[in-house]
Amino acid sequence: MTIKHNIVFVFDLDDTLYKEIDFLKSAYKEISQFISEKTNLNPQTIFDKMLAAYYDGGNPFQTVIDLAQSSEIQISKLLSIYRNHQPHISLSSETQSVLKFLKKSVYKIGLITDGRSVQQRSKIKALALESYFDDIIISEEFGSEKPCLDNFNFYSNKYGDKYQYIYIGDNTSKDFVGPNALNWHSICLIDAGENIHKQTFDLEVKFKPLFVINSIIQIPEILKKVE
């Protein structure tokens, strides 16, 4: 029989459990196909233009609208496709391994993610995350966004003070100030160079994570340090 750690382990979603750039690319492919069907443009050409505009700091939607020159293609429609498409994204083998380990090793596993309900739920479904998580907090459904303490207090209030709490995220501007204020253990997963929100550690102490890791596979090491 497995003895579980007295820990509630809470995850961020985007750029923590998977790379958000993969969602962006999935949406751009859907948009490119839509525009291609309305014009004589090649979908790969459209996709390449969108991605180049994104990396150049431009407006990918306006870029392809200007390219298409069609009254049927408007930003509102492209945004709707982006937010509501069924994404082609997946968990890495390392992330799957860690989630399976935690499911056996800690008391509860939770998720706190900011964003629209439809968009975040579609990601959760595509990643097949439902079976891993005991609780899922999505900002639009919950009524507040990180760094609001309410999102984190949900777990503290539900499970009580006999447990230790760990939160892992990536966004140094808002992910760690909340759990730090509640004396949780906070972990930052380092950006390998593709994160949507860029990281900085030139921060006030209250914003800094307690631990910094390069790979999600290091999570079992963290558990040993907080026992």
pLDDT (tens digit per residue) in 125-135 = 999 999 999 99
Instruction: Give residue 180's domain range.
Output: 5-18+90-226
**Are 41 and 130 in the same domain?**
no
Band of residue 185 on the pLDDT scale cut at 50, 70, 90: very high
Model confidence at 72, pLDDT cuts 50, 70, 90, reads confident
Question: Does 220 have pLDDT greater than 60?
Answer: yes
Give the integer Cα–Cα distance in Å for 31 and 26: 9
Q: Given a cut of 70, is residue 2 above it in pLDDT?
A: no
User: Is there a single domain that holds both residue 111 and residue 154?
Assistant: yes
Per-residue pLDDT band for 35 (boundaries 50, 70, 90) equals: very high
- Residues 168, 196 within the same domain: yes
**Which of these three, 60, 84, 108, is where a domain ends?**
84
Pairwise CA distance, residues 227 & 221, whole Å: 11
- Last residue in a domain, options 50, 84, 118: 84
* CB distance 49 to 225 below 8 Å: no
- The reply to whether 123 and 178 lie within a common domain is yes
Q: Looking at residue 1, what is its pLDDT?
A: 40
66 pLDDT exceeds 70? yes
56 and 119 fall within a common domain: no
% of the chain at pLDDT higher than 70: 99
* Final residue of a structural domain among 39, 58, 84: 84
| Residue 218: CATH number of its domain | 3.40.50.1000
Total domains in the chain come to 2
Span 159-180, pLDDT tens digits:
999 999 999 999 999 999 999 9
Q: Write out the DSSP string of the chain.
A: -PPPEEEEEEE--BTTTB-HHHHHHHHHHHHHHHHHHHSS--HHHHHHHHHHHHHTTS-HHHHHHHHH--TT--HHHHHHHHHHS-------HHHHHHHHHHHHHEEEEEEEE-S-HHHHHHHHHHTT-TTT-SEEEEHHHHT--TT-HHHHHHHHHHH-TTSEEEEEE--TTTSSHHHHHTT-EEEEEPP-S--SSPP-----GGGS-SEEESSGGGHHHHHHHH-
Mean pLDDT of 15-22: 97
The predicted structure's pLDDT at residue 3: 55
Same structural domain, 157 and 59? no
Q: What is the CA radius of gyration of the chain?
A: 19
98 and 186 together in one domain: yes
- pLDDT tens digits, 82-115: 999 999 999 999 999 999 999 999 999 999 999 9
One domain for residues 98 and 191: yes
Residues 115 and 61 in one domain: no
Same domain, 51 and 150: no
